[in-house]
Amino acid sequence: QVQLVESGGGLVQAGGSLRLSCAASGRTFSTYSMGWFRRAPGKAREFVAAISVTGARTSYADSVKGRFTISRDNSKNMVYLQMNGLKPEDTAVYYCVGGTYGSIKSTYEYWGQGTQVTVSS
């Protein structure tokens, strides 16, 4: 069992940066791929980024590629999402997830409660 708690969300101006953190509990953290999804107002939840168990593989949605960076520290049971060059369309609730590597929601069995990111124009 893994419990996930996100932090680091907030209000930022367009072009700014935020770093989201996800603290995971449970001894099995290092056996799960991790990722981030987001849900914008009135839209479906969408994939943002994923990182494999060792961190050797990462993948990103086209909309954030080159601006966002996912990383993990297995010694601290932490996952991060560095977000640079933020745009108003990045406004959403961001969810940390744990499960099987990929971009499909159903492959992730563990979800955090989410943290709000708001980007003003």
Beta-ladder partners of 12: 119
Name the percent of the chain lying above pLDDT 70.
Answer: 100
Average pLDDT over residues 72-99: 97
Banded model confidence at residue 103, pLDDT cuts 50, 70, 90: very high
Write down the pLDDT at residue 48: 98
85's tokens: 């060059």
Q: Which among 83, 71, 69 has a CA at the least distance from the CA of 15?
A: 83
Q: Which among 89, 70, 86 has a CA at the least distance from the CA of 22?
A: 70
Average pLDDT over residues 27-49: 94
Is the model's pLDDT at 28 over the cut of 90? no
Q: How many CB atoms lie within 10 A of CB 29?
A: 22
Burial class (CB in 10 A: 0-12, 13-18, 19+), 69: middle
Average pLDDT over residues 61-73: 98
Write down the pLDDT at residue 2: 87
104's tokens: 């499909």
Is the model's pLDDT at 104 over the cut of 90? yes
Average pLDDT over residues 95-99: 97
Write down the pLDDT at residue 26: 81
Is the model's pLDDT at 27 over the cut of 80? no
Which residues, 6+ apart, have CB-to-CB distance to 11 below 8 Å?
118, 119, 120
The amino acid occupying position 52 is S
Which residues, 6+ apart, have CB-to-CB distance to 31 below 8 Å?
53
Average pLDDT over residues 48-54: 97
